[in-house]
Structure 1
């Protein structure tokens, strides 16, 4: 391990990380996976070297989590990062002892490199920056004679200290209105479950240009279109006994960096709850119009600032700050479970990933897998690279009706969809 990231390091967890550390367990792991499928077999020794080089570039990932009296915190990890062949289902809890204390896990299988991250370390954008750098080092080792091009962490210039700032605290403002947090119970997907710790993964690999054309013809963004389709698929594929009683609500994480000009590699996101009650059989077009209206109302600086103020003030409350950690954990789990009851499913969209042309030719596609939870047994993640868009469902339910309705609809719209799944 190089000296550059062996120096002692101590850091407080960011606003979101404190919650993830307190509420996570074996059932609700809060671990997500970002994978890159290459056009050639992965060489394990080169991947090991690439991980170590990436940690030199991004030392904030070279940490382990420790428990304090009031909060968890991060400190330097001097152990060697492990690279292993994939042998388990995705997004399982990262056991610190088995992983040398690291909050991320690197694995390979055939042509695929997977990076799994515990959410207290970073969000999807931070994970993407790490994976891009990891791919750069791997491909440079595998093809030393090729010009891969430049692969900066962020486009444009920024100070390295910005990578580790808590952007929640920096951008919090008391001038924003307070957000009221009354959460109504949402429809829950129910049914027989797969075996314990088994996750079904179904990925639809979609052509980007036809998808963009389809969304444009409907006057919607890709996220709006997919959210509306997911809502209707849950309505059609969910248990009919429950679906008319309560709203179906999709939780959608929002990257706050573009709203606040942040370059942090820590967590910095908010979320939208987009939903509706299916008190009758709405057409897809009717659902889409409601979704577009909800996005317009919710995805704005004012509403995001309200959420930001609520989260930061809850953390800074003097009474909360000086409560021992074991009591905080109980309270945070109650609050989190109450919030989850107001959501039916989650959809994370990492957007369009850009790689230098020299790297792009070696990478076929990227996939985003989101860990399921006891109250949200079906989740979805999407990401685009080049001419391929990947939409992945993770699920603990035996039934795959929601996924079937979702991809069948796209096929009926003329989208050539390649389905990839793990065998169960």
Structure 2
């Protein structure tokens, strides 16, 4: 592909994420699939070549502008490489999306300034299905699909650019935060949350503990409390933290990303999510699991509405529209943004729980797939995070941990086991 120097503005969240990247806060998350056989690297590279043409926005690199970063289409395609580092610890401006393989596992690591979990999962499903189609159903990606033909390639690329620039309302790459920006009252959230008192590891390390759990076991237990699987798992996390740190005074706040595509009936491969922040005050006394679930159920009912999200969007985007912030050169923003993000953002979170729900693939590929993983990005403030992804039979619950202490993970899975929910545990340490 010729480098036509096409470029994209960053959305509001991407502007922030691209300005705070560091070794302890990479903003990079991971999706993985475990397959039945060793990875065929040649087929994986062919698959990547096809995806470059289908998703031109993701085949970008981060560039420094005068006032803000921006994305520019890059000459080189997607990186396909053997895994050789801890997950989510190595993100580069010129290579924000990586396809990684190791034995029977394919992973996708992607920087949050490109997209969110739902946008990445759509890409990931395509990656898996295309790879398995070529490997087991003997259908090679032909020249037209890959775009080796220059005329086809140029037409396809031109079409994507025209969609993005001339018809932004239906573009798969439009900035939907700006579309739904309204002047409303600001959302009020906890400013000073409790933070887990553990020392973080040396740079470049990220420990992962994953439990594979029967979805029927969790559904059975969730139904006892008239709640969903996701809310049940979130409530158990609150319970573990409340029982482990009963004497704390600050509130325990768990950031939970919510996909806005469903709320506003939109489609985009960019970021379009908002964090909601359920919180519980330990100073009020001990809580039973029933009390926590009742709170979580009611909180979600009140919070997950269009009107509430207008407030969240306004709070997130309004600072970026400030004339002073807009006019400050990027080199100065890059110095102060990590501190601003920490003070106004992560200081208000204890931890995070990201639930991508069920990853739905064509049933004909099921027998070749042995499981999934979803790992949220590491964070110096939120030292331990949880990522959840499911298929039709199992829930895969992963803790990403920047410390050498794994008591919270152990207590979480022990708590489930005592309620008849067994887990098959795997780790990278």
Q: Please report the TM-score for the alignment, with normalisation by the length of structure 2.
A: 0.89
The yes-or-no answer on 1:260 pairing with 2:264 is yes
Aligned-partner Cα distance in 2 for 1:110–1:318: 51
Residue matched to 2:351: 345
User: Per-residue displacement from partner, 1:324-359 (whole Å, max 9, x unpaired)?
Assistant: 112333443233112211110000000111111122
Give the counterpart of 2:314 among 309, 317, 320.
Answer: 309
Residue matched to 1:322: 327
User: Per-residue displacement from partner, 1:72-119 (whole Å, max 9, x unpaired)?
Assistant: 0111101143211111111013134xxxx2211111111110000110
> Aligned-pair distance for 1:160?
6.0
The yes-or-no answer on 1:274 pairing with 2:278 is yes
User: Per-residue displacement from partner, 1:113-161 (whole Å, max 9, x unpaired)?
Assistant: 00001100111011111111111221122123479xxxxxxxxxxx964
Give the conservation status (yes or no) of the 8 Å contact 1:233–1:403.
Answer: no
Residue matched to 1:155: none
Higher deviation after alignment, 354-363 or 323-332: 323-332
> Aligned-pair distance for 1:230?
0.6
1:216 counterpart SS class? helix
Aligned-partner Cα distance in 2 for 1:197–1:328: 25
User: Given the superposition, is the C-alpha separation of residues 383 and 113 from structure 1 closer, same or farther in structure 2, using an over 3 Å criterion?
Assistant: same
Residue matched to 2:249: 245
Give the conservation status (yes or no) of the 8 Å contact 1:253–1:269.
Answer: yes
Aligned-partner Cα distance in 1 for 2:89–2:314: 32
Question: Unaligned regions of 5+ residues in structure 1, if any?
Answer: 148-158
Aligned-partner Cα distance in 1 for 2:200–2:331: 31
> Aligned-pair distance for 1:282?
1.7
User: Given the superposition, is the C-alpha separation of residues 192 and 18 from structure 1 closer, same or farther in structure 2, using an over 3 Å criterion?
Assistant: closer
Give the conservation status (yes or no) of the 8 Å contact 1:146–1:358.
Answer: no
User: Given the superposition, is the C-alpha separation of residues 256 and 180 from structure 1 closer, same or farther in structure 2, using an over 3 Å criterion?
Assistant: closer
Give the conservation status (yes or no) of the 8 Å contact 2:264–2:306.
Answer: no
> Aligned-pair distance for 1:209?
1.8
Give the counterpart of 1:387 among 348, 372, 393.
Answer: 393
Aligned-partner Cα distance in 1 for 2:109–2:132: 20
Give the counterpart of 1:373 among 375, 379, 402.
Answer: 379
Give the conservation status (yes or no) of the 8 Å contact 1:13–1:72.
Answer: yes
Aligned-partner Cα distance in 2 for 1:378–1:141: 38
Give the conservation status (yes or no) of the 8 Å contact 1:229–1:406.
Answer: yes
Give the conservation status (yes or no) of the 8 Å contact 1:233–1:405.
Answer: yes
Q: Which has the higher helix share?
A: 2
Residue matched to 2:144: none
User: Given the superposition, is the C-alpha separation of residues 70 and 212 from structure 1 closer, same or farther in structure 2, using an over 3 Å criterion?
Assistant: same
Residue matched to 2:96: 103
The root-mean-square deviation of aligned C-alpha atoms, in Å, is 2.0
> Aligned-pair distance for 1:286?
1.7
Q: Aligned runs of 1:95-174 on 2, under 5 Å?
A: 95-96=92-93, 101-145=94-138, 161=164, 162-174=171-183
> Aligned-pair distance for 1:20?
0.2
Residue matched to 2:360: 354
> Aligned-pair distance for 1:255?
0.6
User: Given the superposition, is the C-alpha separation of residues 357 and 182 from structure 1 closer, same or farther in structure 2, using an over 3 Å criterion?
Assistant: closer
Aligned-partner Cα distance in 2 for 1:32–1:387: 24
Aligned-partner Cα distance in 1 for 2:350–2:253: 5
2:172 counterpart SS class? helix
Aligned-partner Cα distance in 2 for 1:41–1:182: 47
Give the conservation status (yes or no) of the 8 Å contact 2:7–2:73.
Answer: yes
How many residue pairs end up in the alignment?
Answer: 401
Give the conservation status (yes or no) of the 8 Å contact 1:236–1:405.
Answer: no
Give the conservation status (yes or no) of the 8 Å contact 1:203–1:391.
Answer: yes
Residue matched to 1:210: 217
Q: Please report the TM-score for the alignment, with normalisation by the length of structure 1.
A: 0.90
2:337 counterpart SS class? helix
> Aligned-pair distance for 1:393?
0.1
1:289 counterpart SS class? helix
Question: Unaligned regions of 5+ residues in structure 2, if any?
Answer: 141-161, 165-170
1:201 counterpart SS class? strand
Aligned-partner Cα distance in 2 for 1:77–1:180: 38
Give the counterpart of 1:63 among 60, 63, 70.
Answer: 60
Residue matched to 1:191: 198
Aligned-partner Cα distance in 2 for 1:335–1:297: 29
2:222 counterpart SS class? helix
